[in-house]
Each structure stands twice: as structure tokens, then as C-alpha cells.
Amino acid sequence: MYGIYLACIGLVCAMLGSCSPLPSRSYAPPAPVPLMHFYDYQLVSSATQQPISFEQLVHELASRDVIFVGELHSHSASHYLQMQLLAALYPHNPQLMLSMEQFARDKQAVLNQYLAGEIGEQTLMDQGKAWPNYASDYRPLVEFAKAHHLSVIAANAPTALVRCIAQKGPAVADQLPREQRAYLAKDLTQSSAAYQEKFRQFLTQSEALHGPSKKTPEGQSGGLSNSFYAQLARDNTMAESIAKALDAQPNHQVMAINGAFHSDGKLGTVDALKRLKPNLAIRVISPYARTADAIDLTTATQQGDYIYTVQALPKRYVQKQHRDRAVRTMMERKKAHQCAW
């Protein structure tokens, strides 16, 4: 997942009806502020390509129905912004819900038990299959929701079912027991042409490292790869989870946190949610990692309504042999997990 959401930053603005075209006049690039540490960020409005204050951002978001905050999963600034924003939106709209990619639908009951004070945090992390960085990055969000009695949506598709789709294609969902099938979106195949093309570009870039992905048989599912349908299972399930939560609790505002790949360019989960509920007022906030002092937002501002610039993450690997060893380990782990259906 870490590689996927980093790749998806550029697709989305054209897909969302609320995204209006930029004015014809040109703007000077925003003056970068020094980013002193990994919690620092600078906010930029995509409409003007100019910096805005956090207070202005909150003011502009307060009346929106759903706010997607795309994250770089391991970046401190992403999680700091999410916590700041959740706390700042709450006084404007106490009827607030938090949607999380980091918990799957089959763990909703466990998450609800924790929010109700019926189980402890270690039980939540163990039985809820919390992500490894839960304590450092997602605990503040869940604790805020717990303290203020906010609903938290365990939005994602279970990993085991996503793995089955990656191995066998979306038709495997028809073989699942009814209870398991309910953990996935009803629609597992609908997507936009722009999202399909973006994912193909991502595969082209990643296959050099990870090897070719398993393709669906010729003539089935439009010739798209099973890995795309696995990604789509997450996107469409998260979108459906948000839609169902809004059906159950109308007039609530949702702040959704997910890897940037799922919401950049207003594709993926955003596009799927618009298909389900076209009248929602949705806004997308996307990360942009600075690689130099200068900021070039020509492409980045196509990813969301707002951009937050952050320091680039350190290189995961410098030496090729270390990277290759990690890739081999990852592939071996994937082979060890076979679909049970």
C-alpha cells in the first residue's frame, strides 16, 4: 500500500463535478515557507495556487459534506494535519464522523466496542488488526473520536478478501459466503477510464521493481489486471462504507483519511462516492512532497482542492541490493498467503 498511494497524486480534479476550472489568468508560484521538521506543512489552495492559512482552510471546509485528507502513510505531517483538522472541524459541526482506511469492515464491531469503553486499546489493536503505526499515528484521531462520542467508520475491505481478488479476479466475490461478501462493496468493477489509465502507468513504473502483475485472462474484465481490481475493491468499499454511514446518519459531516492514491485527482474512492451520492459536496486535500526549495504545483494542484506541501521522506533504500532483498521478502510473503476461497 505504501507505494500505491504515493503514485496516484495526479488524476482526480477532472472527475468531480464540484471542481471548477482554474481562472485563465496565471498565478505566481507560492512563496515557500521553511519547513523545519517533519510535522511542518504549508497549505495551498489549488484554485489560486496561493498559500492559505489553516483557519481559512477550516472556514472553507466547515460546510462541506465529505472531506478527504490524503496521507503519506508514514509521514508525520500528514497525521499532524489530520488531527488538527478533526479537532478544528468539530466545533463547527459536532455531527462529525471519521472514516478510516486503517480499519476494515469486518472489524467495525471491535472498533465500536473500543469507542464504547468495553475493551482496551491493546484488544482493539490485536482483534481489530490495527496497522503497525496505529499507536504513533492513528491513536490521536481515535481517542478524539472516543472522547467526543464521534462515530468512526471502519471503511476498508478486509485484506484477505482483497488478496483473493488480486489472485483470482473480482468474480471470486461470487464464491464467498454471504457474511464475507458483505464486507466488500456491492460493485467491485466500476471505475473511470482515467483511473484505469493511471493505474496502468503505476504498474509500468512498479513492475521494474516488483515484477509483472498477474493479468486477468484475455477478454475478461476488460483486460484489466487483477491487481487493479484489488485496488478497486478498497476504493469502492471505502466509498460505499461512507455512503452507508451517511444514509444511517444524515446531516453528518465525514472526514475521511486514506492513502493519497485513493483520493488524488478525485479518482478512486472519491470518484466511487460521487457515483453513489452525486449531490455530496466533497473536498480533497492532497500531499505534495517537496524535493527542493522551489515549489512546482502545476501538476500537484490537479490532485485536490487543497495541497499541503511537506518535506520529502527519506529514501527507503540507497543500495540496490538492499532494495532487491526487501522486494524478494515482500513477494515471498505474498506467495505464502493463498486465497481460502
The domain in which residue 274 lies consists of 2-15+32-315
Q: What is the total count of domains within the chain?
A: 1
In a domain, 207, yes or no: yes
In a domain, 192, yes or no: yes
Residue 49 in grid coordinates: 495556487
In a domain, 333, yes or no: no
3-state secondary structure of 258: strand
pLDDT for the residue numbered 205: 77
**Digit-coded pLDDT (tens) for 129-175:** 999 999 999 999 999 999 999 999 999 999 999 999 999 999 999 99
Distance CA 150, CA 238 (A): 18
Please provide the DSSP assignment of 117-181 as one string.
Answer: TSS-HHHHHHHTT--TTIIIIIHHHHHHHHHTT-EEEEEEPPHHHHHHHHHH-GGGGGGS-HHHH
In a domain, 165, yes or no: yes
**Digit-coded pLDDT (tens) for 226-275:** 999 999 999 999 999 999 999 999 999 999 999 999 999 999 999 999 99
Q: What's the CATH number where 207 sits?
A: 3.40.50.11550
In a domain, 332, yes or no: no
3-state secondary structure of 253: strand
Q: The sheet that has 50-51: what strands, in order across it?
A: 50-51, 42-45, 306-311, 282-290, 66-71, 253-259, 96-104, 151-156
* CA 96 from centre of chain: 18
In a domain, 330, yes or no: no
In a domain, 21, yes or no: no
Q: Are 157 and 233 spatial neighbours (Cβ–Cβ below 8 Å)? A: yes
pLDDT for the residue numbered 208: 57
In a domain, 169, yes or no: yes
**Digit-coded pLDDT (tens) for 281-328:** 999 999 999 887 667 778 888 999 999 999 999 998 999 889 888 888
